[in-house]
Amino acid sequence: MTSNIRYKSRIPVKTEDSTEEKQYVGFATLPNQVHRKSVKKGFDFTLMVAGESGMGKSTLVNSLFLTDLYKDRKLLNAEERINQTVEIIKHTVDIEEKGVKLKLTIVDTPGFGDAVNNNECWKPITDYIDQQFEQYFRDESGLNRKNIQDNRVHCCLYFIPPFGHGLRPVDVEFMKALHEKVNIIPLIAKADCLTPNEIKKLKDRIREEIDKFGIKVYQFPECDSDEDEEFKQLDKELKECTPFAVIGSNTVVEARGQRVRGRLYPWGIVEVENQSHCDFVKLRNMLIRSHMHDLKDVTCDVHYENYRAQCIQEMTSKLAQDNRMESPIPILPLSTPDVETEKLIKMKDEELKRMQEMLNKMQQQMHDKDQ
């Protein structure tokens, strides 16, 4: 039995004789629903800091998030530093601002670049990043996918010493070892050691060497045409400013009758949040206020997907190899073909063909994303 009932549209059509407005449906509140759910759940962000000791890494992190993550840290003496190897230390803190909760994880790498022989000193760092990818892949493939803890490294701040004339060999090798695994943001540490002209020359030299050695640092996304002019201007300034020349300080000093965070020298005061003194404010705006979500998206859609595709490809190859070893195909005379053997060969060929098609499809999707 077929029903021929016709339903009238509840959205009236506006005619010359009618001025009735369209009725409000309500799907325009979807962004608000997503916002409420996200705020209730909270956000995770994992930031790695790498560079030689004494580059101000801990001070900068504390300055960025207005917290003290290293209050229990023990400073090593010279003899202990000589024998120190590269470690991975995690600091986690829950921060709340205007009802928004952020679980911040700082991954510190003490001992990096401090030895006389720094050959492959970045290996523990790359191993740690791969371990977090592996753990996420296991959780994603498991049964309880609803409560997956994201410990993947979303960003790596790499501190470049201000005393050289560009990138050192260890800087190049470190960034090349990590640039396919994590978003790298290069920083010029202790920028108050340099004059403005020296900072400009060093920035130009580092940018040239990054291009020369094919290092893939974090690329700011292109602005959409419908973005407001203020955001476009901010994005332009950030792109022109890299690598960021930064200063960190947790000390409040008196400057022009105001209390500001900065460093007091015999010749004057360096203000951390004064944009004519350093790029700290631009780095904070980029890292926290404008591009934090994009850093997480690139980590998930590019770096993790590359790792995931590699894992699936290795599993497929291993499965195919195991199948060949477990089911060897007997060599039979051509004059007496075995029906069961031919059937087995056909099944294995179809299985390998399906796996290859799945792999090709994934590679094509990754290629389309890169485009």
pLDDT in tens, 274-324: 888 889 999 998 888 888 999 999 999 999 999 999 988 888 888 777 777
The whole-number pLDDT of residue 48 equals 93
Is 173 inside a domain boundary? yes
Residue position matching structure tokens 């404010």: 281
- Of 105, 112, 113, nearest to 61 (Cα)? 105
Within its chain, how far is the Cα of 127 from the centroid? 16
The whole-number average pLDDT for the span 7-27 is 55
Is 168 inside a domain boundary? yes
332 — pLDDT class (breaks 50, 70, 90): very low
The whole-number pLDDT of residue 55 equals 86
The whole-number average pLDDT for the span 186-201 is 91
Q: Are 281 and 149 in contact (CB under 8 A)?
A: no
Residue position matching structure tokens 């029906």: 339
pLDDT tens readout for residues 354-367? 777 877 777 777 77
pLDDT tens readout for residues 69-94? 766 666 555 555 555 557 788 888 88
pLDDT tens readout for residues 91-144? 888 888 888 888 889 998 887 766 666 777 888 899 999 999 999 998 888 777
Residue 222 has pLDDT above 90, yes or no: no
217 — pLDDT class (breaks 50, 70, 90): very high
Is 144 inside a domain boundary? yes
φ, ψ (nearest 5 deg) of residue 107: -105, 110
For residues 137, 294, 203, 51, the Cα torsion angle rounded to the nearest 10 degrees is: -40
The whole-number average pLDDT for the span 246-252 is 85
- The percentage of residues in the chain with a pLDDT greater than 70, rounded to a whole number, is 83
From the number of C-beta atoms within 10 Å of its C-beta (0-12, 13-18, 19+), residue 320 rates as middle
Beta bridge mates, 102: 43, 95
E-strand spans in 112-211? Answer: 155-160, 184-188
Q: Which of the residue ranges 38-47, 168-177, 193-202 would you say has the lowest mean pLDDT?
A: 38-47
The whole domain housing 114 covers 37-320
Is 11 inside a domain boundary? no
The whole-number pLDDT of residue 22 equals 63
- Of 275, 206, 190, nearest to 242 (Cα)? 206
45 — pLDDT class (breaks 50, 70, 90): very high
Is 365 inside a domain boundary? no
How many separate domains does the chain show?
1
21 — pLDDT class (breaks 50, 70, 90): low
The whole-number pLDDT of residue 211 equals 94
Task: Give dist(CA 296, CA 316) in Å, integer.
Answer: 28
pTM: 0.74
User: What is the C-alpha end-to-end distance of the chain, expressed in Å?
Assistant: 52
Is 306 inside a domain boundary? yes
CATH code, 208: 3.40.50.300
Is 370 inside a domain boundary? no
SS3 329: coil
The answer, yes or no, to whether the previous bond of 243 is cis (omega within 30 of 0) is: yes
The whole-number pLDDT of residue 11 equals 46
- The percentage of residues in the chain with a pLDDT greater than 90, rounded to a whole number, is 27
Task: Give dist(CA 54, CA 43) in Å, integer.
Answer: 31
Is 83 inside a domain boundary? yes
Task: Give dist(CA 108, CA 121) in Å, integer.
Answer: 14
The whole-number pLDDT of residue 326 equals 64
